């Protein structure tokens, strides 16, 4: 059974940093394309960053240079390092795994950027 567990969210001041983690159980990790999404109140869920099974990455424009997605194949974990956080980054962040046509989602972790 596949399970994604998101963690690492919290309250941080503008300009601060957080690192989100997504631990993946099951045998899909090596073949999965992974991504982080976020959803702010009243807004649609949006792609933040993605990393393919072979390590290629992509980012939405307004996080480029501030966020870094990475993965540890030995630990079956995907990370999202978030630096220079802004109030507009406030959202629930979700990890997603895609294997062929099947999608798996984490439960989400709240990130709040506020002074």
Query: Which residue do the tokens 């950027």 mark?
Result: 113
Strands 91-99 and 77-82: unpaired
Query: pLDDT tens per residue, the chain (115 residues)?
Result: 899 999 999 999 999 999 999 999 988 888 899 999 999 999 999 999 999 999 999 999 999 999 999 999 999 999 999 999 999 999 999 999 999 999 999 999 999 999 9
Q: Which residues contact 3 (CB under 8 A, 6 or more apart)?
A: 24, 25, 26, 104
Strands 10-12 and 33-39: unpaired
Residue 36, pLDDT score: 98
Residue 85, pLDDT score: 98
Contact 57, 48 (CB under 8 A): no
**Count of residues in the chain:** 115
Q: What CA dihedral angle connects 40, 41, 45 and 46, to 10 degrees?
A: -30
Residue 83, pLDDT score: 98
């Amino acid at each position: 059974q596949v399970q994604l567990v998101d963690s690492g969210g919290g309250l941080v001041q503008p300009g601060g940093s957080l690192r989100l983690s997504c631990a993946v159980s099951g045998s899909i990790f090596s073949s999965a394309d992974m991504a982080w999404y976020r959803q702010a109140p009243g807004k649609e869920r949006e792609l933040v960053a993605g990393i393919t099974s072979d390590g290629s990455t992509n980012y939405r424009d307004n996080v480029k240079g501030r966020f870094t997605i990475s993965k540890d194949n030995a630990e079956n974990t995907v990370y999202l390092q978030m630096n220079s956080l802004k109030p507009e980054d406030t959202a629930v962040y979700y990890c997603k795994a895609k294997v062929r046509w099947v999608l798996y989602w984490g439960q989400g972790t709240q990130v709040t950027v506020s002074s």
